[in-house]
Amino acid sequence: MEKEIPDRLTTLGHPQRLALFRLLMRRYPDSLPAGEIGQALGLKASTLSAYLSALQGVDLITQRRAGTSLLYAINMAGVRQTFEYLLLDCCRGRPDLCATFPDLLTEGATPMADRKYNVLFICTGNSARSIFAETLLREMGVDRFNVFSAGTRPQSELNPFAVRLLEEKGHDVTLLRAKNVSEFTGPDAPPLDFVFTVCNQAANEECPAWEGQPISGHWGMEDPVKREGTEAEKALAFRQAYGALKHRITAFTALPLATLDRIALQSAVDEIGREKEDHAG
């Protein structure tokens, strides 16, 4: 411990290594291929390799092989050990030294209040996947949720394929419009209870530090807008995305939100995100 913690802090003291660490923390519990990490951070392969090796060397990330790819993920045991050292050893658990420490201890063990929850779905364009999720949860959740969606791009518009599919499924599309995440920051923004990213690119980006520490999840899937081929093949891609989101949102709405503490609820949200099957419907 005497050497591990200083080595970890030294490794994270480099801005780009810290950015890599933060990216993998945002995507936890996912494992990411090196190529996706490099693209998200704009790093050359040789530089990325050095940074990954450094973080792996101090047990902050893990590496595993899947076929011909190397996948990287956060080593949560090492991260917890580091945080515990800083909070328990350095602060001695004293609230006068680390004012937020008691909140970190108690928040995770406290169930969410039984009320109407605010949920935001984020994608890059807010044109298809996020509006599917917004529409499905608004209708499946009945009066339990206020549901929003937004994109990380400065400008976007609803995809006509996506809107047509929602109409064919009998959904009301009159409330839908393309929005930017900036609408959900600042003093006039609704306080968020859940924030979900539904595409990898949005999850890899630096999103705002949401007020109130909402529970976050990554439910990534392929972008149907990018599917090439015939009209039938493109339509199938939209149906698969719709079906996969419907499956996940069905599981989410079945969770007993008011009885689960935040740790259990975060674990349940992560488990829903790990489901990879296509559910065309």
Say how far apart CA 36 and CA 47 lie, in whole Å. Answer: 14
Told to judge if 199 belongs to the known catalytic residues of this protein, a careful annotator would answer yes
- The separation between the first and the last C-alpha atoms of the chain, rounded to the nearest angstrom, is 52
Q: Which residues contact 140 (CB under 8 A, 6 or more apart)?
A: 246, 249, 250, 253
Q: Which residues contact 123 (CB under 8 A, 6 or more apart)?
A: 129, 130, 149, 151, 152, 197, 198, 199, 202
Q: Give the residue ranges of DSSP H helices in 86-216.
A: 101-107, 129-140, 160-168, 200-204
Answer positive or negative: Cα dihedral of 82, 83, 84, 87.
Answer: positive
Catalytic residue chosen out of the listed positions 90, 91, 98, 123:
123
Told to judge if 90 belongs to the known catalytic residues of this protein, a careful annotator would answer no
Q: Are 269 and 214 in contact (CB under 8 A)?
A: no
DSSP annotation of 155: S
Q: Are 192 and 118 in contact (CB under 8 A)?
A: yes
**Phi, psi (degrees; rounded to nearest 5) at 42:** 65, 40
The residue behind tokens 């949401």 is: 210
Q: Are 219 and 196 in contact (CB under 8 A)?
A: yes
Catalytic residue chosen out of the listed positions 90, 91, 98, 207:
207
At 64, list the tokens: 């595993």
Where residue 119 falls (left for φ over 0; alpha for ψ -120 to 50; beta otherwise) is beta
Q: Are 246 and 171 in contact (CB under 8 A)?
A: no
Catalytic residue chosen out of the listed positions 90, 91, 98, 199:
199
Told to judge if 123 belongs to the known catalytic residues of this protein, a careful annotator would answer yes
Catalytically active residues, by annotation = 123, 199, 207
